Amino acid sequence: MTDSIIVSNVSDASFAIGVAYGKQQTMDIQDIVSLKSFANSEFCPRFLLDNQTEDMIGHSLEGKSVYIISTTSPHHSRNELAMRNCLVASAAKENGADVVTLIEPDLFYSAQDRGPRTKDHPQITSFESRKKFIGQPWSAKLYARLLHQSGVDRVLSVHNHKPKVIADIYKEVFQQKQTEKPCFINLDIAHIVANYILRSGLARVEGGGSNVGFVAPDSGAVEFVSRVRDFTGLKNSVLVNVEKTRHGQRNVELNISDDVELLQGRDVFILDDMVRTGGTIAASVKLLAENEKSRPANIFFYCTHTYISAEGRENLNSPYLNQFITTNTIPSILNRDDQGRLRKKTVVLKLERWIANAIIQCLEHQHDPEVFYGKSSVSLAGNWYEVDISSKNLQRFNTRFVQYALV
């Protein structure tokens, strides 16, 4: 075994296998750790360590860094996978591992980022904003505690919905001091998205992007959309914000800012972090397409984490949407048979090589992700992901790079 090993909570997890391959790990995950279940359904991981002697018991992983790659699985619930993470981490620590890192691109329970007694939270402004949390646990904090108690030293996620809130939770639980290396790392995917926009040939980027528009589907997405726009270098593009007021789980009121007229005739990219039912995005697309003041030439939607539910497939199949771009942080998106009509317009950016590179640069070499994945890396980002397109997708991928925008 080398000084670092990549494992998973599911032995045949395709994303984890891809990350291990990207980091040039020669041993298969199944040859490193046995993930078995007893007859009573209890899970028991066991690291497969050769040439054991009595004095090595409990010390076989000393000097090694263990990376646990965790994504969703069609065979196990998130609850099961979360418990598996804790047991794999505990097995690693109890056998002497120096550092255990959980790499969970779509971090479990992070949407449940407050509880009934939480007061210091940006979205808690009144009694009304606290009411829906009465009687429920602070799940994000509980998960952090379970991971920490199990032996996890660091957690890495991708494009987390509320990275500062989650970072503060993990700092408190992991008892991290200001002088210590961060226990929670949130990778910014903006440079990957910018690279794809320039590389795909979807938009007319001549003239500094005077034919391109960016849309934030709610106020929480504005910062991310602004970063993607900056990374593209399209200084003549425009950014428009959609104000979203949620009155219920599926009752959302949308209002476009007054500068919506700037989108008229442009190639428009709506960018967000996640999609579940797709209702809000479908409503935003329809609102833009049918509004005489905006009416873009083309509309493209990108999100990082996609829960490909039946409802989401139907909503995202909007006739106004030219292409749906996402990543494989939730690998089920790659199951073509489950995508129905949506497969005709879906493009998946596979991120395994990017995660492998982040392990090397940000975890092993300790580079600050915000510095390492900066503007100068946009032209290199094409080497860090693969474009996966269904054969039914009529929008073919154009490998042409817009050189001036990538300088």
Q: Are residues 205 and 183 in the same domain?
A: no
d(CA 37, CA 8): 15
Q: Is residue 272 part of a domain?
A: yes
Supply the range of the domain harboring residue 27: 4-187
Q: Is residue 357 part of a domain?
A: no
Q: Are residues 8 and 107 in the same domain?
A: yes
What are the beta bridge partners of residue 216? 241
Per-residue pLDDT, 68: 98
Q: Is residue 364 part of a domain?
A: no
pLDDT tens digits, one per residue of 175-224: 998 778 899 999 999 999 999 999 998 988 888 999 999 999 988 899 99
Q: Are residues 80 and 151 in the same domain?
A: yes
Q: Is residue 124 part of a domain?
A: yes
pTM (2 decimals)? 0.91
Q: Is residue 366 part of a domain?
A: no
Per-residue pLDDT, 280: 84
Per-residue pLDDT, 80: 97
Q: Which contiguous run of DSSP H or E holds residue 278? A: none
Per-residue pLDDT, 403: 42
Q: Are residues 183 and 209 in the same domain?
A: no
Structure token digits, residue 287: 């609102």
Q: Which parts of the chain register pLDDT below 70? A: 1-2, 50-52, 244-254, 374-376, 394-407
Q: Is residue 269 part of a domain?
A: yes
d(CA 2, CA 63): 10
Per-residue pLDDT, 6: 97
Q: In total, how many domains does the chain have?
A: 2
Provide the CATH number for the domain around residue 172.
3.40.50.2020
Q: Are residues 46 and 175 in the same domain?
A: yes
Is 17 strand, coil or helix?
helix
- DSSP string over 26-81: -S-HHHHEEEEE-TTS-EEEEE--SS--GGGTTTTTTT-EEEEE----SSS-HHHH
Per-residue pLDDT, 402: 42
Q: Are residues 148 and 260 in the same domain?
A: no
Per-residue pLDDT, 254: 64
Domain boundary among 187, 212, 233: 187
Which residue has tokens 């593009």? Answer: 237
d(CA 202, CA 394): 13
Q: Are residues 165 and 38 in the same domain?
A: yes
Q: Are residues 225 and 275 in the same domain?
A: yes
Dihedral, 383, 228, 161, 365 alpha carbons, nearest 10: 40
Taken as a whole, the chain contains a residue count of: 407
Q: Are residues 220 and 337 in the same domain?
A: yes
Per-residue pLDDT, 230: 94
Q: Is residue 85 part of a domain?
A: yes
β-strands 184-187, 212-216 pairing:
unpaired
Per-residue pLDDT, 65: 96
Which residue has tokens 């990082």? Answer: 304
* Beta carbons of 118 and 138 less than 8 angstroms apart: yes
Q: Are residues 180 and 219 in the same domain?
A: no
Domain boundary among 143, 165, 187: 187
What are the beta bridge partners of residue 244? 254
In sequence order, the 6+-apart residues with CB closer than 8 A to the CB of 15 are 69, 71, 105, 328, 329, 331, 352
Q: Is residue 355 part of a domain?
A: no
Q: Are residues 227 and 319 in the same domain?
A: yes
Domain boundary among 143, 160, 187: 187
Q: Are residues 219 and 281 in the same domain?
A: yes
d(CA 197, CA 183): 32
* Beta carbons of 106 and 158 less than 8 angstroms apart: yes
Sheet strand arrangement including 346-350: 252-256, 238-246, 212-216, 267-275, 298-306, 323-327, 346-350, 386-389
pLDDT tens digits, one per residue of 259-303: 888 999 999 999 999 988 888 888 889 989 998 888 999 999 999
